[in-house]
Homo-oligomer: A and B are copies of this chain.
Amino acid sequence: MSQHFDICLNAEVLLEQIHSLGEIGLDLQNGGRTRIALSDAEKAGRDRLVQWMRALDLDVRIDRIGNIFGTLRSPSDTGAQAPLMIGSHIDTVANAGALDGCYGVLAGLAVVRALREAGRLPARSITIGAFTNEEGARYQPDMMGSLVYAGGLDVAEALATIGTDGTCLGDELARIGYAGDLEPGAIVPHEYLELHIEQGPILEAENTLIGVVENLQGISWQRVTIQGSANHAGTTPTRLRHDAGYVAAAVVTALRQIACDSNGTTLATVGCMAFEPNLINVIPRKAEFTVDLRDPDEDRLLAAEQGLSAFLRNIAVAEGVQISTERLARFQPVTFDAGLVEAIASSAERLGFSYRRMSSGAGHDAQMIARICPAAMIFVPSRGGISHNPREHTDDDQLIKGVEVLLDVVIRRLASPL
């Protein structure tokens, strides 16, 4: 289809850039790559991205929270035009795959490259965005760059965030040289598109190529702290224990029950766990862990939160411990723009690709940007549904076809002067 317009995707460069970015931060011992937001490795990834943007002669701007934007100016853009934005992120979790986030950013570059190589300029400027700290691995909340950008979190507050390693986000941002001067949100997009791997098993299981993402589940992140009493493991009768570690374990098993009781709509994960003093023969005086709850339905997400809360109240009394919770992030389910969703479905149809409308299980920058402009997402399959893991994989052919859909949507949205 794109050949109809003499605008062709350069698949070779796209795949080469995905591979090249994926080489940055490789962990040869544990597999995958680790480019935690604002680390040295992530700085190296940013530098590479900016270099590629400049090679395409994009106007590169960095905002105060470190979001990177590269804009291909429309001839009609005198500087005030709302661009079509294509975005995602290039930070990763630890030992990640090469696709989560990076694919969407590099797909944006591929769209711009296709226009450059065809010698065509769009009727509306196109901005490629890479948002800071989407993963939230070190600094919470996740999707921070896009949240700040959409006005959902004050930039000063975000810059003051203290990470799990005790560092201050603003200091780290300055350290790696990405504390820009653009005010977050200064460029309000006309529309926003994000192409992403599914990170779930549905497309592969149904042998479907394209996910047309209509909505996104709600996310609730909390930190739970159990304060018990340290004591000798060999002399303290079970009935006299106030074992913070045991209580933490009981909460984890209760969360599994909450997930099972939901008929599969609620997901519950305890990803971080720490005991104190963490010694083999001392009953833990303290346990701290995170809770990640998700559901596409706000009422069911609330019910899961309330179920957890009730369990915590009861076990605190039963075991004689103090329990406190801290909200780290809370996002309601998001419904994407119907017009954009329809446009994606039409392009997939036109290109002859199998597709289905679906929900996103993961959080994405698109859900934040949806607060300030029409937004939607395109998914391609993840083998085995695996992500946040070195084994994350999507076939090259699927990756290319996903970008073909994106390119087709962009061309048709900006068709007039092409």
Q: Which residues of A contact B (CB under 8 A)?
A: 93-95, 135-137, 140, 142, 198-201, 217, 219, 221, 229-240, 243, 245-246, 248-253, 256, 259-260, 264, 267-275, 277-285, 287, 290, 292, 294, 328, 360-363, 385-389
Contacts and interface: CB of A to CB of B under 8 A. Distances in A.
A273 B275 contact: yes
B283 A271 contact: yes
A123 B356 CA distance: 93
B272 A278 contact: yes
Contacts of A251: 249
Contacts of A385: 231, 235-236, 240
A234 B219 contact: yes
Contact of A361 (B142, B229, B235): B235
Nearest to A291: B280
A290 B280 contact: yes
B272 A387 contact: no
Given A230-B388, A249-B248, A236 B271 contact: no
Given A230-B95, A279-B137, A236 B273 contact: no
17 contacts: A93-B279, A94-B279, A95-B277, A142-B280, A230-B388, A230-B389, A231-B388, A234-B360, A236-B385, A237-B264, A238-B264, A245-B271, A245-B273, A246-B270, A249-B250, A272-B280, A273-B284
A292 B234 contact: yes
Q: How many copies does the complex hold?
A: 2
Contact of A234 (B237, B259, B264, B267): B267
A370 B231 CA distance: 26
B136 A281 contact: yes
Given A273-B278, A283-B271, A292-B280, A386 B231 contact: yes
A135 B281 contact: yes
Contact of A232 (B136, B140, B256, B387): B387
A28 to B, nearest CB: 16
| Residue picked from A249, A275, A361, A386, most chain B C-beta under 10 Å | A249
Given A249-B253, A253-B246, A234 B361 contact: yes
Nearest to A285: B389
Contacts of A271: 233, 245, 275, 278-284
B292 A269 contact: no
Nearest to A278: B272
A236 B267 contact: yes
Nearest to A268: B238
The 6 closest A-B pairs by CB, nearest first: A200-B235, A249-B252, A235-B361, A233-B269, A249-B249, A234-B362
B294 A233 contact: yes
Contacts of A273: 245, 273-275, 278, 284, 287
Contacts of A285: 389
Nearest to A140: B280
B234 A363 contact: yes
B278 A201 contact: no
| Residue picked from A140, A199, A231, most chain B C-beta under 10 Å | A231
Nearest to A382: B235
A235 B362 contact: yes
A200 to B, nearest CB: 3
B389 A200 contact: no
Contact of A267 (B238, B252, B274): B238
A235 B277 contact: no
A196 B251 CA distance: 37
